[in-house]
């Protein structure tokens, strides 16, 4: 999932307008949006790495394995639930690292994402940064 400039501007506006804890961590809170976007971006990157080609690339044709839609997954954390869409491959050989199969709770990855955002990293930097920390 690529974050458009409009999405980034909306996240910044949400953070600036947050006046309460609920505005940040509530059902549609800014931090939850950042975590969701970051995790989904990392999962898409992991699948591209697993398949060996980027989404919509012609090099993926007739390789025997390709993208095959997405599934929905609910992760629980200290502040509620986050709905994710997890990409899948046709041969079911994709085993995500960031959010493992059958995993239902968020671990230390959530803290890493929040701390990187607090240090001034952009959401685009976080997508690639978490994979290598």
User: String of b and e for 35-45 (b: at least 16 CB within 10 Å)?
Assistant: bbbbbbbbbbb
The pLDDT of residue 132 is 47
d(CA 21, CA 58): 46
pLDDT for 78-121, tens place per residue? 777 889 999 999 999 999 988 888 888 876 666 777 777 788 88
Domain that holds residue 51: 5-55+62-132
The pLDDT of residue 133 is 45
pLDDT for 30-88, tens place per residue? 778 888 888 898 999 999 999 999 988 888 788 888 899 999 999 887 777 889 999 99
The pLDDT of residue 63 is 84
**Mean pLDDT, residues 11-23:** 75
Domain count, the chain: 1
């Amino acid at each position: 999932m690529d974050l458009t400039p409009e999405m980034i501007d909306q996240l910044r506006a949400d953070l600036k307008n947050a006046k309460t804890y609920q505005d940040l961590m509530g059902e549609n809170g800014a931090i939850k949006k950042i975590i969701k976007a970051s995790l989904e971006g990392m999962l898409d990157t992991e699948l591209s790495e697993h398949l060996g080609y980027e989404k919509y690339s012609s090099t993926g044709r007739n390789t025997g394995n390709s993208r095959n839609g997405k599934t929905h997954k609910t992760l629980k954390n200290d502040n509620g639930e986050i709905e994710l869409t997890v990409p899948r491959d046709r041969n079911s050989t994709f085993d995500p690292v960031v959010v493992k199969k059958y995993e239902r709770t968020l671990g230390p990855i959530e803290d890493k994402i929040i701390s990187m955002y607090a240090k001034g990293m952009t959401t685009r930097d976080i997508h690639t940064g978490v994979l290598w920390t």
